A and B are shown apart, each in its own frame.
Chain A
Amino acid sequence: MTELRTVSGPRRTMVPHGRPLWRRAVLTREGAVIGMLAVVIVVALTTVPNFDSPLTITFLLRDVAPILLIALPMTLIIITEEIDLSVASVVALSSVTVGILTRDGAPFELAMVAGVLVGAVAGTINGFLVTVVGLPSLAVTIGSLAMFRGISVGLLGTQAVTDFPEEWTSLARSNIPGTPIPSIMIAFVILAIIFGVVLHATPFGRSLYAIGLNKEAAHFSGVNVGRTKFILFVASGTVSGFAGVYFTLLYGNARGENATGMELAVIAAVLLGGVSIFGGRGALHGVIAGVLLIGTIGSALRLAGVTADIINVITGVVLVLSVVSASFLAWFHRARATARARGEKQG
């Protein structure tokens, strides 16, 4: 029987080859977005009048909540190198469903559940077309964007349903007692924790990165790519349905045109948060910071009296800069690594 022997000898000192911890922490995409958010908040607090009131947080978080919610599954989808452009139309579809059921006398709780279920069904349709039929998600979701929007507008026509139970609309607009934070943030935090744990701490989450980086390799490693993507699209549809119910209650208004253009805001925020459009990299805290950054910029500029079109321009510039800086950072790293390699060779 072998006996265990202690190996003794000179202790070797590790030669650090990697980047130091502070660099790894700060010089990530997520670190950059969070840093930018901090800077914007500080600048806004000091220069924009009325920004430092608790109303700012309330209005900001309440308005940005649907985007925050939808950005969670959208991050996972984009990490797998897919995309879901139909989310805003699903929000409208869910909103219209809630509106029609409420108008026709159904109990409101049933209407809410139906709204979420409609979202899940929409996500299933998307997932089916992408995974079973094998169509590219960009094409599928552009089509379903139009289809769901058309159904929403067609169902309700030019009417709007505005009569919702008072206790639910005031709940949607309420804050957590004693704080200026809207109550919807409780739901968001729960969902964010779930998505965060799934993405960063489960094999399922790791498989998403694998799929995004190399679909074939992931497949041959035993990942069920089709089923994974299907689950993601259903999740996206369900969360969009929930966001649709919240949106309806927040504005007290179910219309076919609700949330037009929201998909662009979600995707822009996700990309701003450091998720690569080519898949395979990204993290939830960056995305949350990205959504908050766009929301804070908009809120601060509106308070400062800047008009809506200029706010759009500024938001667009921020997005372009973030994409450019990502490429620049990548180039910079490569240049330094090359220089260091050359330096070591000669030294």
Chain B
Amino acid sequence: MVEGISTIPDEKRRACGNRKREMIRYARHLPIVCAVFAAAFGAPAGAVTQNASVNANVVKPLTLVAEQNLDLGTVTLPNGSWSGATVGISRAGVFTCSAKVICTGATTAASFNVTGTNRMNVLVSAPNVTLVNQNDNTQTLTLVVDSPTQVALPNSGNQGVAFNVGGSITLNSTTVSGIYKGTINVTVDYQ
């Protein structure tokens, strides 16, 4: 062998990248150790790979605010014996008065506003309400509520979306006079 000149074939030298001449001088006596770590970058032959998705829906807490009360106005009960007179207001705000009674005064459905995270569906729960005669708390009427089961949030945070809750009562000729009051309790939850 000649000093300073490598006897290693050119292909092998190129495969291992650039090396200084001094290194090659010593490497002449040894097999070139030049590991190409292909296996680390890809699965060995015969392996199968699949991917799985990971999802988490992270949302801000819901806030619910009552904005308007429900009011069925004034209902006058005529004399005589009768029953099954329904008076109510739908959540769309349509007031219906049974022909058996006389309805007067302004009527409104209840209104609520919910805020949360955009595009989320919110479940609405509003059970029926017991209205209690303010002069005689043994006298009650059941307000059957008309509430949406869910609302969709069209934005995130402050604006939110409003929804109404209506309700109806059924009267008969023995219903005791007085102002009947109750509380509509609405709960909202993310679906």
Q: Tell whether A pairs with B.
A: no
B residues with CB within 8 A of A: none
